[in-house]
Amino acid sequence: MDSVVIFDTTMRDGEQAPGATMSLEDKVQIGKQLERLNVDVIEAGFPANSRQEVEAVAAVARAVRKPIICGLARPVFGDIDAAWEAVQHAARPRIHVFISTSDIHLDRMLRKSREEVLEMSVKGVLRAKGYCQDVEFSPMDATRTDPLFIYQLLEAVIDAGATTVNIPDTVGYAIPEEFGGFVKSIMDRVPNIGRAVVSVHCHNDLGLAVANSLAAVKVGVRQIECCINGLGERAGNASLEEVVMSLHTRQDYLGVTHGIDTTQIARTSRLVSDITGMAVQANKAVVGANAFRHESGIHQDGVLKERTTYEIMNPKDIGLTGSVLHMGKTSGRAGFRAHLKEMGYDLKEEEFGKAWESFKEVVAKKKSISERDIEAIIAEEMRTVDETYRLDQLHVTCGEPGIPTASVKITTADGQEWTESAVGDGPVDAVYKAISKVVSLPNQLQEFSVKSITESTEAMGEVTIRIQSEGQTFVGRGVSTDIIVASGKAYLNALNRLVAAKGEQAPVKS
Ligand SMILES: [Zn+2]
C-alpha cells in the first residue's frame, strides 16, 4: 500500500493566520512536537520575509532532525538563497519554490506574461537544485489557472529537477469531484509526471479543504499539505488531524497509509493552540472538546454497551487517555523527570528546574495531577524564554461593595524590583493597570480568555491574552490555580514577547 507524505505547514501558512505569530522558541517547540507526531515534512517558514525568519527556520533545521525541513521561496535568487541559508542546517533540507499562475494574478498582481512566469519558474528550480536535491514547486492559484498552462509549466519544472509538484487551491475555490478531476488530468497530461511526487495544498474557504485533499488522494496524489488545527490564511488550510484520521479510519476506501503517530495528535493540537492563542472550537472534528462526548441518552447507552456503536475512532488513538498521574506531594524530582521523559519531553537543566518549581506549586494546591496539567506547566515554562519581567507578588482585594485594588511586585532581568498598585473596574483590570504602571509599553488589549485545563473547581486556569502594539500582535499565556494570578502572568508573558520582538532594553517606569 502506498504511503501519503504528510507535509505540515503550521509554521508557514498557519503562521499567516491573523495573530498566530510564532517566535523562534515557539517554532523550535512546535517543530520538536511535529517530530514526535512523525510528520514527513515541516515547512518551517518563508525565510525571505526577514532576518528573524531565516534564524527561526535555521533553528528548527538544527533542532529537528527526522523530518524534512522545508523553506518557502519565490523564484527570485534572493528568496532561494535565503531559503537555503536557513534549511542548509537540516539533516534533510527542501526548498519550495512558488509563483502565481492564474491570469488574474498575472495581470493584476505580478504584471507578467505566462512566458515570463515559466522562465522564472525554471530558473528558480534550477537555482534551488544547485543547493539541494529535494525541490518542490507550486503554481499558486492553480485551480483558477488555465489547465493547459499548468501542464506545460509542470512539465518544464520537472525537467528542471523539481521532485515534488504541488497543486494549491490557494483561494479555496475547488469542489471535491472537480478538484479530483483536475488533478487526474495533470497525472494524464503531463508526460514526465511520474518523476515527481504530486501534492495538494487546499484552503478551507468553503469548508472543503479536507474533502478536496482526499479527492486528490483518490486519484493518486501522494503528498498532502496541511496545518494543525486547520490554521492558515483566512479560513485556514486542510486540518492535519482530520486528514490523518480520515486516512486512518477509512483506509478501506482510500487505500493508502501514512506515517503519523496518531497518539500525538491531541497533544500537538493543544500545543499549537496554546502557542498561537487560537482556541479550538468545541465541535471541531477529531480534536474539539466535544469530539468524543455523547449527550443523548440513547447514544450514551450505546457507547456504554459497546463503544463502536457511536464512535468511529478510538479517543486513545489520538492520545486522549484521560489518565491521572500517580504523582503527588511525595513524588520526587527524579520521578517527575522520568515522567516527563515518558511523555516525550527532553528539557534542559534550567528548563527542568523551572518546571519542577511550578509542578511543586501545583501539587501543593491540587489533589490529583493529570498529564494535561503537566503539559500546561511545560508549555508555559518553555514559552517564557527571556523573562525580562517576572511577577513576584500579586495581591488583589475585591468584593461587593468594594473597589477592586491590585498590588504587584515585579522584578526585572537586571535585578531591579518595582512595586505598584492600582484600582480598576474589576480585579483583572486592576492587575493590568498595576502592571502597566511598572512596564511602560503602550499596547491595546485585543482579547482575553479564560479556560480551565481540567474539569473541577480546583482545576488549573489558563488565561490567554492578545495585545497589539504598533500593528503587531503578541499572545501571552499564564497558568495557575488562581485565575487572577494567571491573568497577571499572561499579561507579563505578552509584554516579555513584545520586548523580545522589539529587541530593546526593557523600559521601566520609575
Ligand atoms: Zn496556503
pLDDT tens-digit readout, 302-315: 888 888 888 899 99
- Portion of the chain with pLDDT greater than 70, in percent: 94
Ligand 1 centre from 245 Cα, in Å?
Answer: 21
Task: Report the DSSP beta bridge partners of residue 417.
Answer: 411
SS3 content of the chain, % helix, strand, coil (to 5): 45, 20, 35
Residues with CB under 5 A from ligand 1 (ion): 13
CATH class of 5-276: alpha beta
Q: Is the pLDDT of residue 329 over 60?
A: no
Instruction: Give residue 385 CA to ligand 1 midpoint distance, Å.
Output: 30
Q: Across the chain, what does the average pLDDT equal? A: 90
How many angstroms is it from 237 CA to the middle of ligand 1?
6
- Tens of pLDDT, residue by residue over 130-152, are 999 999 999 999 999 999 999 99
CB atoms within 10 A of CB 66: 14
Q: How far is the CA of 349 from the centre of ligand 1 (A)?
A: 38
CA of 231 to the centre of ligand 1 (A): 10
Domain residue spans in the chain? 5-276, 292-320, 333-382, 389-502
pTM of the model: 0.82
Domain 389-502 matching CATH 3.20.20.10: the answer reads no
Distance in Å, CA 208 to ligand 1 centroid: 14
The listed range with the strongest mean pLDDT (188-192, 383-387, 408-412, 435-439) is 188-192
Res 501 pLDDT > 60: yes
Give residue 12 CA to ligand 1 midpoint distance, Å.
9
**Ligand 1: distance of its center to the CA of 283 in Å?**
24
The region, left, alpha or beta by phi > 0 then psi within -120 to 50, assigned to residue 174 is beta
pLDDT of residue 321: 72
pLDDT by residue (tens digit) across 1-56?
A: 999 999 999 999 999 887 788 889 889 999 999 999 999 999 999 999 999 999 99
Q: Is 273's pLDDT higher than 80?
A: yes
The pLDDT confidence band at residue 383, using thresholds 50, 70 and 90, is: low
Ligand 1 centre to CA of 127 (Å) is 23
Interval between CA 134 and ligand 1 midpoint (Å): 20
Confidence of residue 510 (pLDDT cuts 50, 70, 90): very low
Question: Look-up: residue for cell 495573530?
Answer: 19
Q: What is 240-262 written as a DSSP string?
A: HHHHHHHHHHTHHHH--B----G
Give the pLDDT score at 504: 59
CA-to-CA separations, 111 to 64, 168, 264, 433, in angstroms, rounded: 39, 21, 45, 50
CA of 144 to the centre of ligand 1 (A): 14
For residue 348, pLDDT beyond 70: yes
pLDDT (tens digit, 9 = 90+) per residue, 204-247?
999 999 999 999 999 999 999 999 999 999 999 999 999 999 99
